[in-house]
Amino acid sequence: MVPQRMEPSGALVPIAAIEKETGLTKEVVRKWETRYGFPCPVRDESGNRLYPAEQVDRLRLIRRLIGAGLRPGKVVALDMESLERMVWESSPSMSSQPTDFSQRVLDTVLQHDIPRLKELFKQQWGRDGLTDFIGKTLSEMTLFIGEAWLRGDIRMFEEHIYTEAVLDVLHDAIRTVSGSSGWPRVLMSTAPGEIHTIGLLMAEAMLSMEGASCIRLGAQIPMAELVAAINGCQVDIVGLSFSIAYPARNATQFLNTLRSRIEPSTEIWVGGLGVTRLKPMAGVRYLNDLDDVGPALDVWRRAHKSQAPVSYVETRPSRIA
């Protein structure tokens, strides 16, 4: 479909900003325009594509549904009402009422008060204790903020304000609990195309509190570099995170390839909301919740206790009993 030049009302988003606003690349959006007749951009005086705000909102919801495993052909042409219903049905938590803390955080994000936002997190950390703050409060809060963005209640830059504040707090938490003699050694990363790192840092904090030694590579590490790091750092476990927006097919392919390229003795542990859409895979452990981290480490240590370093046995004998 050829975009029509017209004078629409309301805010318009240029194609260069589509990826930041929706998480979809401009190449994908152009392909859908041709194949499905949506979106239907208008043109500015220079002929550049501009997208009405309501179309951007639809694209956000479409991205969420595709991340949940639906094919573009099933959802791209749907109207807003149908998309909202499908997203609601796929996210039961969206029907729950926000907590007082969630509402305070959302209000602070909308006020763009970053110092206050960090202070709210640290105060709640003090009330909850670090384990509950990361494993429960922060998990629920991050999902709540993500849903607010999907509904259009907050802008992309406001979601980024929240994300950066959370990352700062998580870095502080990891520095608080990390030690030099931890065991096992866990390499933390995400696959190419997976830009979300909050879940990865939350898992790193939980692993560190349980006495593991974590090596953080960051996001979107190419397969060859990830394999080289696994071998070079002599890690025991590879920890990966997949968000709900990451295509399940891509995650499965990546995990299959990684499993075939590293030693069978090196375990692969995978967490994040995207795990719920993956089928069981030999040689890959799925952690459906951060509360699974401690028990999984206990099982691993019992199976490998003869390999425990002396420094670990001396400082934490109860962890491998």
Other Cβ atoms within 10 Å of 225 Cβ, number? 12
pLDDT tens digits, 160-215 = 899 899 999 999 888 888 766 789 999 999 998 887 888 899 999 999 999 999 99
In terms of pLDDT, which residue wins out, 275 or 112?
112
* pLDDT for res 64: 76
| Six token digits for residue 92 | 């039961």
* pLDDT for res 17: 83
- Count of residues in the chain: 321
Q: Please, what is the angle between helix 156-177 and helix 139-151, to 10°?
A: 170
Asked if pLDDT for residue 7 goes beyond 60, the answer is no
Q: Would the pTM of this model clear 0.75, i.e. be above it?
A: no
Letter string b/e over residues 68-83, b meaning 16 or more CB atoms within 10 A of that residue's CB: beeeeeebbebeeeeb
Name the percent of the chain lying above pLDDT 70.
Answer: 88
* pLDDT for res 90: 64
CA–CA distance, 131 with 205 (Å, rounded to integer): 9
CA–CA distance, 293 with 208 (Å, rounded to integer): 10
pLDDT tens digits, 234-279 = 999 999 999 876 778 889 999 999 999 999 999 999 998 888 878 8
Name the percent of the chain lying above pLDDT 90.
Answer: 44
Q: Please, what is the angle between helix 198-209 and helix 139-151, to 10°?
A: 180
Residue for token digits 């030694």? 213
In terms of pLDDT, which residue wins out, 130 or 230?
230
- Give Cα separations from 197 to 86, 138, 187, 220 (angstroms): 26, 13, 14, 10
